[in-house]
Amino acid sequence: MVSERHTKTPSELRQGSSDQACCTEGTCGTVAMLLQAPRLAHCHLYGSHRQQPDLSRVTRARRNPGCKSSLTTVIDPAQTLEEQVEASSQVEREFLAKSQLKPTGPAATDMGSTVQVPRNKVLTTSMIAHATNKDVNQVSEPHTLSLQRVAYQGVPGAYSESAARKASPNAEPLPCEQFEVAFQALSQWVADTAVLPIENSLGGSIHTVYDLLLRYRLHIIGEVSVEVNHCLMVLPGVKKSEVRRVMSHPQALAQVDNYLRNSLPGATKEAVDDTAGAAQTIAQQGWRDAAAVASRRAAELYGLEILEDGIQDMENNITRFIQLSRDPLVSTQPEAGLCKTSIVFAPKQLGPGQLFRALSVFALRDIDMSKIESRPMRDNPIVSSDTQAKKYNYLFYIDFVGTLADQKCQNALRHLQEIASFMRVLGSYPMDKEFQKPPEV
């Protein structure tokens, strides 16, 4: 959902701040796209405001591949279509004036670039090639067309990057500083999808991602699983006896705790934001007394030497990632056993048997529930009444096997709505088939 703190008013856009200016170094050949108001309103109505239609302001930004910043057009849904188009045109004229470019007519866009089409003319291949700084033959190459971006948390070499590449092999990975930045990138149209960890077979659920799923109205469209294989890595030439500190993500440090106590008893553990970030920092700073716990790909990217491979304390260390999109994945054919649906709900009343009643809607219909997770209801964490003592108030996240196209799943959710004060479907999506394969004998 678009947050107020990320929204710019028309007056702020007219001020011409540096972050709205197009890069003028070199031959840009493109300007940021103008947004079509009807399409924008539809996307946000469907993806972000279906249940809470706060349409006072809607923004959507697209990044110009040849520039360092982007142009944001503010659309007021209360305006008529003609007024919205005029507002967009005014923003474009100001933007072009700063960029020393002259508008020539309506815009035809592709991945944030604007092809200026003269009035009474038709769009040609040469126009597209000129606007995108490509040769005419390059325009027709498949890999140059509409390259998508997939956001993930961490730096290149992180396990999340491997998950992002696995979920979207043809997309460009977009590293993000924190989990919420990945949600913001997808919500603000900087990325097309996002891949984030939701649970680990040893460490359990990633609660921050669960909380962000409720805050941002995005949709789960898929899942992938990545096997975690931790390596101990140092700068080339450093021996294990020289290591005085070990850096990694807190969960990774916990997963190699026994190894570190036995192999490096005198080393201190330092927690950082992600595993690959530890490897990157050691390489950049040249620390010869530090080691990182990260993936083999991180060692290759940052030129580190692997002292030991597979140092995790337990086998079957697997992290499940979810793939998010602004629009839900709609299926018209029920595929029993091949799809999973994720929901979140809160019971209407607190008392004996309320959670049992809610979960029974699945058991009565022989629907396999694969996961349940509780999180505090932050808007109302404590409830009380005249006859009952204070109690904690929870939301419940549930994954069950089935698709919304299945009639019995529809009936179960209708039944749940009757006994829940709140319920939302987070997504109905294909299960990770690779993870579901039986082990080879």
Residues taking part in catalysis:
319, 321
Give me the helix-helix angle, 407-419 and 354-363, nearest 10°. Answer: 170
The answer to whether the beta carbons of residues 27 and 213 sit under 8 Å apart is: no
Token pair belonging to 271: 């927690």
Residue 256 burial (10 A CB sphere; 0-12, 13-18, 19+): buried
Structure tokens belonging to residue 132: 């995108």
C-alpha to C-alpha distance for 106 and 409, rounded to whole angstroms: 47
Closest CA to 261 of 251, 253, 252, 272: 253
Give dist(CA 35, CA 185) in Å, integer.
Answer: 17
User: 435: phi > 0 → left, psi -120 to 50 → alpha, else beta; which?
Assistant: alpha
The structure tokens 């291949």 sit at: 125
- Spacing of C-alpha 434 from chain mean position: 22
Q: Which tokens is 70 given?
A: 């982007």
- Print burial letters for 124-143: b (CB count within 10 Å at least 16), e (below 16): eeebbbbbbeeeeeebeeee
